Amino acid sequence: MALSNNVLNVTGLDFTTIRTNLESYISTQTDFTDYDFEGSTISNLLDLLAYNTYYNAIYTNMASNEMFLDSAQVRANVVSRAKMLGYTPTSARGATATVQVNVTPPNPTDNITIPKNTAFQATVDGIGYNFVTPQAYTIGKVGVSTVHSANISITEGEPLTHRFSVGTANTRYILPNENVDLTSLVVSVQTSASNTTVITHTKADDIIGVFANSTVYFCQETEEQEYELIFGNGVIGKALTTGNIIVADYRVCAGELLNGTTVFTKPTNLGGYTDFTVTVTRAAISGVNKESIDGIKFNAPKNYQTQNRAVSTSDYERIIVRDFPDIKSLRVWGGENNSPPTYGKIYIAAKPSTSLYLSAQRKTEIGDQLRKYNVIGFETVFVDATYLYINPTIEVRWNSDDTVLTGQQLRASVATTITNFEASNLGQFNNTRFRISKFQRFIDDTNASIFGNQSSIRIEKRFTPLLDRPYTYTLNFNNAFDLRHPHPMDGIYGIVSSSSFGYESEGTTYTAFFDDDGEGDIQIYYSQGSERIYLNKKAGRISYDEGLITLDRFLPISYNGSFIRVAVNPRKTDIRASTNELMLFGEANITMVDETTSSILGSTAITTEGTGLSTGASETGVTVFSTSTSSAGSSTSSGGGGY
């Protein structure tokens, strides 16, 4: 039978288009002349054919997507594609706290051994969690004191041990828990049940240096999000033999849940002694959850590029990001790009997720890890991140007739916009510019009822001064200052302002502040009513063009909080950050003006990352660690306080 049309249109992929194409094709066939394709049984058949075609199209599309790392959505497939690049997703890691233990043994000359997995307890939301010592510690007495004292680490996790008997060649050795902390995994092989000789195996990340007799193991994530141990085959790594017993010791952790924990219940005894005290010296940090699908997609190709060696600055970045997920922002630069140039060194500035600065202990941990990959012998130097705080004052004009939101609700929305802007456009080393025009557009786009906004900014530095001796502090804002000549009679002063500090002059203590005279001198004054009484008109120098303030031999007797704030008016409202500098919002104030009713909702300050984060342990100076030696050296810059 002749066909009037033997061409089926296959351009559409959605159900409606597929059905329409099928109907158009069949309706042209002489066998189906005068059929009602919408009201007859054939309509159901067309639906069925269209559904089947559509289903197969979706299945084929999904199957194709799962074949590639960029488009895969199922975790098992993402992990499998990453494995082809030699990448193992990072496991969950337990949070680690530091505690100081003071033990008084009956015999002061006895050393005290605190066993591995000595348990401390912490409670979150009514649920108890174990923190254990990740290794054994031996503590001796300090000086002539009878008290034995030391700082030790405790890490969250439940210690477990699994044993596997080596049998047939197809046996899989899978740790039956999802939240295994791979950093705690210790794998050893016992010769047999009757021969208790045990050989510890080390984890191999690649096959470089792995020979036929190397006692190594490999680890990979399974399709059930557990971890499988794989051993050598006699060519790459030593092969296991029937009767061997695999012993795997590890911890199962809760990831990032325990970050910030500062309260612990101590064990009933410590190293066999009951007379001891425990003091928390560092809250729990560095707990992370298992690497996400997006994280695997991002890190796997970069790990492949790095090839487990640190040669270029990007190699250092990728290794740190891969092995230390608690690092929020990172910058690495070569010594040739430093100021002044220092060849043969790699400089690293990093910001953790929960504070402003890396602790000395965390720098040492990162430095020790980098040593494994530093194939050229560059000296690796850690430099504390410096911070430039931007203090915006925003007046938002809005029309109450164009929104159902109240002024307070709209102000809360604007506050959220500001914190979102800080998260996406500041607080990262790659965000080196703050542009006020972009900031204002963000605010205007918060709600359709906003006509516009008037925003001004001041920039601020913070430093923690010494209270026991005079010290010269250099605050480098890296942005030129505005220049304003003061007219005290009209209530007009210089561009510099500060938070208060205690200052002694001629035997009297004052609540004092900084300002400038418009001619290049920094001054210290106190307020008497509306008048400023100057205690020192030559307290330092200010360079308006260079954006530099120097405080000469400054010696306060006290200050409020953790630091002194010094703020200035920038010459331009587009602010730039230097090499190891991060920008955050310090104090953001919002005023709402309703143009319909002319009512004003007074100024209010909002909490941003710059106001909410703790200062961290490095507030008093720049601490430098080098991976070329096992000990740490330190130096304090002229900026004090990390400036």
* Token pair belonging to 592: 């709402």
Q: What is the per-residue pLDDT for 144? A: 64
| Alpha-carbon span 105 to 493, nearest angstrom | 64
Q: Which residues contact 493 (CB under 8 A, 6 or more apart)?
A: 486, 515, 532
pLDDT band at residue 634 using 50, 70 and 90 as cut-offs: very low
pLDDT score of 61 more than 60? yes
Of 236, 588, 226, 614, the closest CA to residue 420 belongs to: 588
Query: What is the average pLDDT value for the chain, to the nearest integer?
Result: 84
DSSP state of 21: H
Express each pLDDT in 407-448 by its tens digit.
899 999 999 999 999 888 888 888 889 999 999 999 999 999
Within 13 Å, how many C-alpha atoms sit on residue 248's CB side?
A: 26
pLDDT score of 2 more than 50? no
- Please indicate, yes or no, whether the overall pTM of this predicted structure exceeds 0.85: no
How far is residue 584 from each of residues 6, 137, 285, 413, 574, measured CA to CA in Å? 67, 40, 22, 19, 14
| Alpha-carbon span 274 to 225, nearest angstrom | 42
Of 168, 161, 167, the closest CA to residue 243 belongs to: 167
Q: Exposed, middle or buried: residue 249 (CB in 10 Å: 0-12, 13-18, 19+)?
A: middle
Q: What length does the chain have? A: 643
What domains does the chain contain, in order, with CATH numbers?
15-65 (no CATH), 96-157+256-285 (no CATH), 159-252 (no CATH), 309-384 (3.30.300.200), 387-459+584-612 (no CATH), 465-561 (no CATH)
pLDDT score of 9 more than 90? no
How far is residue 532 from each of residues 491, 505, 549, measured CA to CA in Å? 10, 15, 21
Return phi, psi of residue 129, to 5°: -130, 145
CA 163 from centre of chain:
36
* Token pair belonging to 1: 């039978």
* Token pair belonging to 423: 């998260």
Q: What is the per-residue pLDDT for 159? A: 95
| Alpha-carbon span 634 to 73, nearest angstrom | 47
| Alpha-carbon span 480 to 570, nearest angstrom | 6
Q: Is the peptide bond before 340 cis (omega within 30 degrees of 0)?
A: yes
- Kind and range of the H or E element at 593? strand 588-594
Interhelix angle 293-306/313-323, nearest 10 degrees: 140
| Alpha-carbon span 504 to 556, nearest angstrom | 7
Express each pLDDT in 457-477 by its tens digit.
999 999 999 999 999 999 999
